[in-house]
Amino acid sequence: MKRNQLAIVVKEKEYTRRIADYIRGSSFGERWQVSAFTHPNACKQFAKQGYAIDLIVAEPDLLRELQPELSHIPSITLVARLGETNGQPELLQYQALPLLLQGISDQFEAMGHKPMRGPTSNPNGNGALVLTVHSASGGVGKTTLALHLTGAASARGLRMLYLNLERWNTSELWLQPGGEAAWDGEGLSELLYAIKSGASSHVAWLAQHRKFHPQMKCDYLRGFRNQEDRASLLPVDAAAMVESIAQSGHYDGVVVDMDDGMDELHFELLMRADRNLWVISEERSALAKQTLMLQYGRQKFGEAFEKIAARSEVVCNGMNAELGNPMPTVEVALAPVALPLVREWRRGELHPVWSSSSYRAAADRLCAHLLGGNEDLRIHAVG
C-alpha cells in the first residue's frame, strides 16, 4: 500500500515525540509516512531536496511562514479553538491523539484525496456495510454482541461505527469513562434535526461530533439528548440517519444496535441492512418469541420480509457447553457461531466490554463469517 507523506510543523518537540510514539503502534502509520519539524525552514528545505509532501499540518504562525513557497500543498491548521482561520481546514491541536489523527485523514479525504485501500467491505457497493443486531425480546445480549462485533471488525482493519438506536439506550454504561449515565454534547438529536431540516452538512457534523473508543478502536455517537426525539422517531428518519452515516465516506461498516420488537421502524432499518443478526438466548421463551416475531413479520410485510430473512441469521447467545445445549430449530439460517455462556456476567454487575476472552473469540469468528471468511479483507483504519 502506498503511503501518503505528512509533514507536521509545530514548535514543541515533546508534542512531535508523543505523536511519533503513538504512530509507531497505530494503523495510522500504515497509511501515512510522517515527518516532524519544529521550524518552517527545515520543512522548506525538506521539500527543496525533492521529498514529496502530500499534506502539511502546522500551527498558524508556522503555516504562514511556509507560504508562499509551499502554498501548492494542501494544509490543515492546528488551532487552540475551532473557527480561528476563517473557514480554512483546521483541527484542535490538543485533543486525544486517535481523534487528531483520524481528523487528519478525514479532512485529507474531504479535500478530494481518497485513501489507497483494498476491496470495499460492502460487496453491494452501497456505501458502508450496514449490519443490524435485532431480537424479538429484550435482555438477550444485543448490545454486548453489537459492541463486540464492532470491535472485532475494527481489529481487522475496518473503519467502524457503533450506532445505538434503542428506545432506552444504556450503551453509555460501557462506552463512557466510568459508565456515566448522561450524555454531554451533541448526538443523535442534533443529527436528526439536521436531516429533517434538509441540511447538507452531515459529513462535516459527523467528523466533528463522533466519539472514538480507544479500547474498541471504533467510533460511536452520543444518544438522543431529548428522549422524545427517540420516542417519536419516524421510520423514514431512522433509515435516513443510518444512510447519512453509511454514505459519509468515513466508514467501512456501521453496526446498528436495534430495539426489540417488530414495527414499521424495525422493518425500515432491516430493509436497509446488508446483513442482520437475530439474537436469542438459551431461554425457551426467547426462542418462542423469535418464532412469533417471524410469523408476524411474514404476515404483515409479505415478500419484503422474506428478503430480510434471506440476509439474516439467528445467533444463539449463552450456550452452555457443559450442559450440551442442543442448537434450536429456527425458520431462518442459523449462524455457525454460538456465543458462550459467561458466568461472571450473570451477577448483575457492570462488566467491562472486553472482560471475557471466550466471548471475544466467538465474536471474532462470527465477524469473520459475516465478512465472508476472507482474511484478505483488511482495510487499514485510522486510530
* Amino acid identity at 47: A
Percentage of the residues of the chain whose pLDDT score is greater than 70: 84
pLDDT at 230: 93
The residue behind cell 519539524 is 37
Give the number of domains in the chain: 2
Range of the domain at 260: 129-370
Instruction: Please give the average per-residue pLDDT across 286-307, as a whole number.
Output: 92
Q: Which residues contact 82 (CB under 8 A, 6 or more apart)?
A: 90, 92
Distance CA 63, CA 47 (A): 14
Q: Are residues 133 and 195 in the same domain?
A: yes
CA-to-CA distance for 162 and 146, rounded, in angstroms? 8
Domain containing residue 168: CATH number? 3.40.50.300
Q: Is 314 within 8 Å of 333 (Cβ atoms)?
A: yes
Domain's final residue, options 56, 82, 110 = 110
Check residues 75 and 217 and name the one with the higher pLDDT: 75
pLDDT, tens digit (0-9, with 9 covering 90-100), for 103-162:
888 888 877 655 434 334 455 555 799 999 999 998 899 999 999 999 999 888 888 999
Closest CA to 253 of 368, 382, 167, 161: 161
Do 196 and 282 reside in the same domain of the chain? yes
pLDDT of residue 349: 67
Say yes or no: 267 and 326 in one domain: yes
Over residues 154-210, the pLDDT tens digits come to 888 888 999 999 999 888 878 875 555 555 668 899 998 888 877 666 777 787 788
- On whether residue 260 sits in a domain, the answer given is yes
> If you average pLDDT over each of 31-35, 138-142, 377-381, which comes out highest?
138-142
Mean pLDDT of 311-329: 68
Residue 77 lies in a domain: yes
Smallest CA-to-CA distance from 216 within 169, 254, 160, 177 is with 160
Query: At residue 341, what are phi and psi to the nearest 5 degrees?
Result: -75, 125
Could you tell me which residue, 122 or 7, shows the higher pLDDT? 7
Residues 70 and 158 occupy one common structural domain? no
Note whether 87 and 192 are same-domain residues. Answer: no
Is the same domain home to 193 and 293?
A: yes
- Amino acid making up residue 94: Y
Q: How far is CA 221 from CA 67, 206, 353, in A?
A: 37, 9, 17
Which of the given ranges, 206-215, 240-249, 270-279, 317-326, has the highest pLDDT on average?
Answer: 270-279
Do 163 and 215 lie in one domain? The reply is yes
What are the tens digits of pLDDT across the range 361-375? 999 999 999 987 443
**235 found inside a domain:** yes
Residue 46, domain CATH: 3.40.50.10850
Residue 1 has pLDDT above 60, yes or no: no
Query: Do 88 and 167 lie in a common domain?
Result: no
Give the pLDDT of residue 229: 92
